[in-house]
Structure 1
Amino acid sequence: MNLKNRLLILVAAVLVLGGVALAATLHAAGRGAEKDRARPGGPRVGRGEVVLDAPGRSVFRNMAWGPHRDEIASVPAADPAGPRTSSGVRCLRFHAAGGTGICLQAVHGRLRDGYRAVVLDARLRELRRYDLAGVPTRARVSPSGRSVAWTVFVSGDSYAGTNFSTRTSVLDLDGWTLDRNLEDYRFFLDGRLHKAADINVWGVTFADDTHFYATVATGGRTHLVRGDRAERTLRSLHPNVECPSLSPDGTRVAYKKRVEGAPDDAPWRLYVLDLRTLRETATAERRSVDDQAVWRDGHTLVYALPGDYGSDLWSVPADGSDSPRVTMPAALAPAFTG
């Protein structure tokens, strides 16, 4: 076989192989698109205006596949399975109260990627932005809307183990005063000033613009603490509490509790603590909940669990009765306005 024929055979083989690869790629893409279109029960999502001070609305991160995934969306609180209005504003973590929103976003740059916290007004317009030192994980707004807080992972990406470090910041919107790291506050453990290199703080939930609750970890244990921004103090109240969420009447805290016998990668159960008596009540949710629950009202907790779209919202009574049920598929980080 001469050189010319060999070259012709080589070119033909390359074209055949290229055609096979292209066909396989198009077939896989077609199957993926068909799978997305064929997902049963997917929520309907359309572009529109989303506001944070409209009465009787649920606002959340939309997780449904499509052009509006990760956008802040809204539905009537009375019809959580209804059509969604999507805002165009994308957030990894989100919360809202008092007409203020806090949106923790990913930032994709030409040289490097990063994250930022964006404070939003009631029409989702940006008021201020702040660079973040790590991966967003928790966000909260005070009932009045005048204070916001966020937590990021500075190292590590899970609360399940012990090899992680967090940074939690609290921002006062009245003067735009930022406490960048709550680890700078004085921490009192069982009434005594406690100083240690391993202190981590996360999961703020506000009582008002000055006082809040959060989790402090040190020495391999976690503690519910009450924080005071004026005094710059954190005071321990109860052990084995993570990601607290204060009830609307300020008397109870919902939280993640590590329980004996649970898997290392799914160690938590959802509990409620009465702050007056320090009595704990286990909810009827028996699965591991790695979320900071939200109180829909004075009786019901809403929280995220893994689902077909990445995350679904579930609800359960706070008093330990009844059973969990899906509140909203393909959703995360809810807030209830009005």
Structure 2
Amino acid sequence: MNVIRKFGATGLIVALLGWAAATVAWRMADDEPGTGGLRLALPNTLVVVDPKGTHVRQTTRDGKQLLGTGPDCRRAAVAAGTLVCLRALAGPFSSEVRVYRSGKNEPEVTLPVWGNPSRARVSPSGHLVAWTVFRSGDSYADSGRFATTAGIYDLRNGHHYGSLEDFTVVLRGKRSQPEDRNFWGITFAADDRTFYATMSSKGRTHLLRGDLATRTLTALRTNVECPSLSPDGTRIAYKKRVSGHWRLHVLHLRTGEDTMLASPPGIDDQAAWLDAKTIAYGTVDHGSSFVYTVRADGSGKPVRLVEGGSPSVTTGGR
């Protein structure tokens, strides 16, 4: 059994947080660009990671005008004046989460993470940030295969919720803690309590509804990956395996209606809602990364928006 399974993900996170506190001085003094060139409180602008997968760029919503360049991020997301930046560090499976606030050029929070950057999200209020990383070394994983883990941090009180592996899973009405569980792709509701995520176990993926107050995860549906909650909280954009390929879909949470979008097969991204009718996603096209948009009702065709990936839309300051 590996160290995560033996001592728990939270124990490892606490140790890493202690290391982070001891090294915060030099991290704050490094020469990485901050958010001086970004206007996080300016609503309805597009934030993407540049095509090389390094720095954040802010553009007008149509992608035609560059407004600013920000920190070094492999994955990024923004909401309500908060930018979460998941960046790779030197060494294998070594990353850190940096959180920036509107009007500040240095990160407000820096957290070390064991794993390679995968996904990042901010709650609509800007109070909660989440991330997903790839890692290796789990006892259940086949040799050469990666596992994933996800975490959440509350900026209001500095509370680290640890890994989702430490939450209680309710699967088919019963509590279940499968040994081979993996979590990824967190998306937040507006109440700063409810969230959605993906869990895989025994070759199946599940859409989970999470509750931060009770630290529970309830399985709702299978074959759902990388959920993204709509601005009104009624629908989830996600990727679903169809005939062996990922296809973007939109699920209506109340009715269960499921709509395939007009994007091509093979999209490997956690999509983002630009507004109630439009979804953005990143993909590689002819060797370069681009952000496309597509209608949420399944009609129309994909529209290329801007070079880059990990799209997110600013929603103004708090």
Confirm or deny a common fold (TM above 0.5): yes
Query: Which one of 118, 136, 139 corresponds to residue 120 of structure 2?
Result: 139
Q: Which structure's CA Rg is the greater one?
A: 1
Give aligned pairs, total. 273
Q: Could you give the per-residue CA deviations for residues 279-308 of structure 1, whole angstroms, max 9, x where no partner exists?
A: 111011132110000000001110011035
| Aligned residue in 2 for 1:336 | 313
Tell me which of 273, 278, 282 is aligned to 2:256.
Answer: 278
Q: Give the 3-state SS of the residue equivalent to 2:254 in structure 1.
A: coil
2:211 corresponds in structure 1 to: 228
Q: 2:101 aligns with which of 110, 114, 121?
A: 121
Q: What SS is found at the alignment partner of 1:132?
A: strand
Contact 2:39–2:68 under 8 Å retained in 1: no
**Inter-CA distance 254–71: structure 2 relative to 1 (3 Å threshold):** same
Match of 2:227 in 1: 244
Question: For the Cα contact (< 8 Å) 1:52–1:59, is it kept in 2?
Answer: no
1:90 equivalent in structure 2: 72
SS in 1 for 2:276: coil
Deviation by residue 1:125-176 (Cα, 9 ceiling, x = unmatched): 30011111100100000000000100101129xxxxx943111110011111
What's the offset of the Cα at 1:88? 4.3
Cα distance per residue 1:181-208 (max 9 Å; x no partner):
1011110012111121011111000003
Distance apart, 1:58 and its partner CA? 1.2
Q: Is the 8 A contact 2:282 2:311 kept in 1?
A: no
Alpha-carbon distance in structure 2 between the residues aligned to 1:216 and 1:88: 32
Identity of aligned residues (%): 42
Q: Does 1:190 align with 2:190?
A: no
Q: What is the aligned counterpart of 1:210 among 190, 193, 196?
A: 193
Secondary structure of 2:165's counterpart equals: helix
Q: How does 1:42-121 map to 2 (within 5 A)?
A: 49-63=37-51, 70-77=54-61, 79-82=62-65, 84-108=66-90, 114-121=94-101
| 8 A contact 1:255–1:271 mirrored in 2 | yes
1:296 maps to: 274
The two structures have a TM-score, normalised by structure 2, of 0.81
Structure 1 segments of 4 or more deviating over 4 A? none
* SS across alignment from 2:285: coil
Q: What is the identity, as a one-letter code, of the residue corresponding to 2:154?
A: D
Task: Give the whole-Å Cα distance in 2 for the aligned partners of 1:153 and 1:238.
Answer: 23
1:314–1:213 distance in 2 versus 1, CA, 3 Å: same
Q: Answer yes or no: is 1:257 the counterpart of 2:240.
A: yes
Aligned-pair CA distance for 1:113: 7.9
Question: Structure 1: which 5+ runs fail to align?
Answer: 1-46, 157-161
Report how far residue 325 of structure 1 moved: 1.4
CA distance, structure 1, for counterparts of residue 184 and residue 37 of structure 2: 32
Aligned equivalents of 1:169, 1:48: Cα separation in 2: 27
Counterparts in 2 of 1:88 and 1:253: CA distance versus 1, 3 Å: closer
1:108: Cα distance to partner?
A: 3.1
Give the aligned residue type for 2:203. G
Does the C-alpha gap of structure 1 residues 227 and 122 become closer, same or farther in structure 2, counting only changes over 3 Å?
same
Amino acid at match of 2:246: W
Contact 2:60 2:67 in 1 (8 A): no
Listed as ranges, the gaps of 5+ residues in structure 2 are: 1-34, 138-143
> Relative contact order (alpha carbons < 8 A, sep ≥ 6): 1 or 2 greater?
2
Q: 1: CA distance between counterparts of 2:43 and 2:262?
A: 29
CA-atom RMSD, angstroms? 2.0
TM-score, with normalisation over the residues of structure 1?
0.77
Distance 2:169 2:214 in 1: 11
- Measured after TM superposition, the shift of residue 272 of structure 1 is 0.6
Partner of 2:27: none
Tell me, yes or no, if the aligned pair for 1:95 and 1:141 is still in contact at 8 Å.
yes
Partner of 1:316: 294
Task: Report if aligned partners of 2:273, 2:279 keep a CA contact under 8 Å in 1.
Answer: yes
Q: Per the alignment, in what secondary structure is the counterpart of residue 188 of structure 1?
A: strand
CA distance in 2, matches of 1:71, 1:286: 27
Equivalent position SS for 2:288: coil
| Equivalent in the alignment of 1:170 | 152
CA distance in 1, matches of 2:126, 2:87: 19
Is the 1:314–1:325 Cα contact (8 Å) retained in structure 2? yes
Contact 2:77-2:120 within 8 A present in 1 as well: yes
